Amino acid sequence: MFSFSLEAVAITASFRVPETHTFHQTLPLPPRTTIIGMIGAALGKRLDEAHAFIDQHEIRVGVFGTHKGIMKDLWNYRKLTNTEYSAEKIQNRNHYSVLIREYLFDNQFTFFFASDDIESLNKIRNAFFSPCFALTAGNSDDLLKICTISDVREIQPEKICRFENTVLPGDVSRSYKHDIDLKSVPITQTLYTPQVYLLPTKFEFKGEERRVIERKPFTFISTPVTLSTPLEGYCMDGKAVVLQ
């Protein structure tokens, strides 16, 4: 299998937990579907085209990332019904509401892309040097800045027990122990236990409509942990990740 990595930064980032409404909680790291959207933006493809490209060429992705903190922001938005979309009606309506959205602050990401199809992998890599559309970290105003893009290299899987700051497939919340010396942790540092979310992985597209047709559990790891059962992963750039 071949792979390359991409290092990027974002001042703010927000990856909304699906199907949340007045409180938009953020995931600790971008899920697989967000990374697919990022690939589509670089290639200039619609979301359905990006998913089809990923499936066709069996592109696998992974992420390693950290942030300095979490903040909350108030959003004031106008509520519309299906009969209120004319410009005149929008101006005359005052149905406002407020929601709270979480943001990750001062983010550093390393994205990993892999496939047996080296030609398609090089196509994605070249697109990141000159993306067709602006790359974002969740919201359209959370701009993502690419810092470095590695060369394509051949990689080999290995059994890995220790992970940190990454996303693992499945629910491993009952099969780990913390791998950190609490006495050496600064009092200002926040420690997080692994968080499990049931997230969309596949969609059915009909024009502008998108329906979730598959969900799978994912475990978001922040504080270093050691799993009781190793997973097949890859050590790249000194970071352990499982490609999905």
* Of residues 60, 146, 154, the one with CA closest to residue 109: 146
3-state DSSP assignment of residue 145: strand
Q: CA-to-CA distance for 151 and 192, rounded, in angstroms?
A: 33
User: Model-level pTM greater than 0.75?
Assistant: yes
Q: Please state the domain extents for the chain.
A: 2-78+91-241
Give the mean pLDDT of 151-180: 94
pLDDT in tens, 35-83: 999 999 999 999 999 999 999 999 999 999 999 999 998 877 776 655 5
Dihedral of alpha carbons 228, 28, 208, 210, sign: positive
Residue 169: its pLDDT value, please?
A: 96
Give the mean pLDDT of 25-37: 95
Residue 85 has pLDDT above 70, yes or no: no
pLDDT in tens, 109-159: 999 999 999 999 999 999 999 999 999 998 888 999 999 999 999 999 999
Helices 32-43 and 118-129: crossing angle, nearest 10°?
70
Pairing of strands 96-115, 23-24: parallel
Over its C-alpha atoms, the chain yields an Rg (Å, rounded) of 19
3-state DSSP assignment of residue 39: helix
Architecture of 2-78+91-241 per CATH? 2-Layer Sandwich (3.30)
Q: Are 14 and 26 in contact (CB under 8 A)?
A: yes
The percent of residues above 90 in pLDDT, for the chain, comes to 72
Give the mean pLDDT of 175-184: 83
